[in-house]
Amino acid sequence: MTEIRTYRGHIRNWKALVRELGIEGAEKLSRQEREPLILEKAYEKWGHEMGLHMHGMFALALWDADRNELFCLRDPFGTKPFYYCLAENGKLLYGTMIRDILADPSYHRELNEDMLQIYLSLTYGAGEDTFFKGIKKLMPGRYLVEKDGQITITRYFTPTFAPDESRGLQDWADEIHETLKNIMTEVKDPDEEADSFLSGGVDSSYVLAMSDAKMTDSVGYDEERFDESGLAKQTADLLGRGFSRCRITPEQYFGIVPWVMKNMEQPLADASAIAFSIGCLETAKHTKLCYSGEGSDEFFGGYNMYRNAPRYGDNLKNFYVGNTNIMKEDEKERILLRYDPANLPINLVKDIYKETEGLDPLSKMSDVDIQIWLEGDIYLNVDKMSTAAGLEIRMPLTDRRIFDIASRMPSRFKVNEEQNKVAFRTAAAKVLPEEIAFRKKLGFIVPIRIWMADERYNKDVREKLAGASCAKFFHVEEVQAIFDEYIGGNSDLWRKVWTIYTFLVWYDEYFGEEL
């Protein structure tokens, strides 16, 4: 006898599963009725290994009355979060949201200050610990079993890389294209309608071209050099799709930061997250389902820094901790009231480098970003902000079948001297003009670099950096020195200012004096 205790997600290959599991009449059921049945039957058939048979995004807890045990599962890449905590009374608290645990009277809310030191470098909460003492994340590709008061965590999926040198560029592009074509038949039911987020980049453009989405959604700014919405409109027009642009103002951007940090549940200093949240809220006004293009950069070599991989060589394991690393240890030691020299970001990735021993440098960098950055930043943002907005987002490029291709692809088909995501772009060019498929990566850029230096908009930043919460954790004069230098014209310091500020906003939301 099994019972689903909590679940959030979307099972893509449900049609194949209901056939294999012998679930009759599933086609006539709603998704809300169908998916619990699939989960229960999958557990009965495959037990703890059920996660290897499902494609999509999922986090769940299931009670097995026959074994008298609780089974908790998170999908291979961590697109949906799962949290757990052993309370002082011995009770296991868990949920797909941190607030599920905070609401339980047996949990005493307390800050895990160790995370701040990591956050100042990475700009997100990396690894299994959270900013709430005692609350941990079940990491991607793991399952947790509680039985007789004992907790065991097992890894059922590990990203592995085994380059196949026997194939050429076109072979890889063909496999990407055919695999994505198949996945796009699964990402929604025939009676569902979805919009598609669209930027100027190849990922969202490719997803749109492969989908039946009739409407696209973009964000833009009055500052033209930061605004990709014009490129997005060109793509939408070319593909014959509708186009909706949300214009984001600095007043709107700064005004929503507390709401974002509250709903993010942990601080996140990715400036694009604020713009993304506004985009989600705007999109949710006319649809409840939207596609997004996350995943391919990490799988197929999409970041410009990946071109430096060969010259980093074996030295990567000494410094590369993921996509962001904005504060060095000497600077953190200078600004923090309490600094622990043993609490280093590199400790989070040591086991990953052991797993990738002997692989080429690009594969090592990709694996770090897949296991740390995607889970801690990208998927956290997508899940929390879409959920808060009442919007469901599905990411066709984040799929074990897509990663399987990337895991077998030699790095020369991912990055070369002229281009990144070479094979992926070649696949996209089957349905997109080359000027779109091979357009230089821009990223989800935000004018925060110039907005935050403007006295018309930075009032709350100034107050937070000079406030009581800042003084609890930082040498205020050191923080002020960074801010003053930024205001004085060193715009490269904006990330450091923003990272400190977002932590303080988050802290006041969850630990402010009124609480």
Contacts of 289 (CB under 8 A, 6+ apart): 188, 192, 193, 194, 195, 391, 392, 394
Residue 510: the pLDDT is 97
- Enumerate residue ranges in the chain where pLDDT < 50: 514-515
DSSP bridge partners of 474: 336
Residue 418: the pLDDT is 86
Nearest to 279 by CA among 256, 243, 245: 245
Topology of domain 2-155, CATH: Glutamine Phosphoribosylpyrophosphate, subunit 1, domain 1 (3.60.20)
CB 111 within 8 A of CB 507: yes
DSSP bridge partners of 61: 6, 72
CB 295 within 8 A of CB 374: yes
Q: Is it true that domain 169-312+346-437 has CATH number 3.50.30.40?
A: no
State the Cα–Cα distance between residues 386 and 80, nearest whole angstrom. 12
Q: Which residues of 155-170 are buried (b: 16+ CB within 10 A; e: fewer)?
A: eebebebeeeeeeeee
The residue behind tokens 């509708």 is: 242
Residue 443: the pLDDT is 59
Nearest to 9 by CA among 125, 42, 156: 42
- CA 340 remoteness from chain centre: 28
Residue 515: the pLDDT is 46
Q: How many other CB atoms sit within 10 Å of the CB of residue 343?
A: 15
CB 375 within 8 A of CB 51: no
**Pairing between β-strand 92-95 and β-strand 83-86 as defined by DSSP bridges:** antiparallel
Residue 444: the pLDDT is 55
Nearest to 396 by CA among 424, 423, 367: 424
* 3-state DSSP assignment of residue 124: coil
Listed in sequence order, the DSSP H helices in 390-458 are 400-408, 422-428, 434-437, 448-451
| Domains of the chain, residue spans | 2-155, 169-312+346-437
Nearest to 474 by CA among 334, 286, 271: 334
Q: Transcribe 260-309 into DSSP letters.
A: HHHHHSS----THHHHHHHHHHHHTTT-SEEE--TTHHHHHT-SGGGGGH
Query: Hey, what are 61's tokens?
Result: 């807890």
* 3-state DSSP assignment of residue 11: strand
Residue 426: the pLDDT is 98
Q: Transcribe 345-396 into DSSP letters.
A: GGGGGHHHHHHTTTS-HHHHHHHHIIIIIIIIIIHHHHHHHHHHHT-EEE-T
Render pLDDT for 128-160 as a digit per residue (tens, 0 to 9): 999 999 999 999 999 999 999 899 999 999 999
Query: What's the whole-model pTM score?
Result: 0.96
Strand order in the sheet with 150-155: 2-11, 56-64, 69-74, 142-147, 150-155
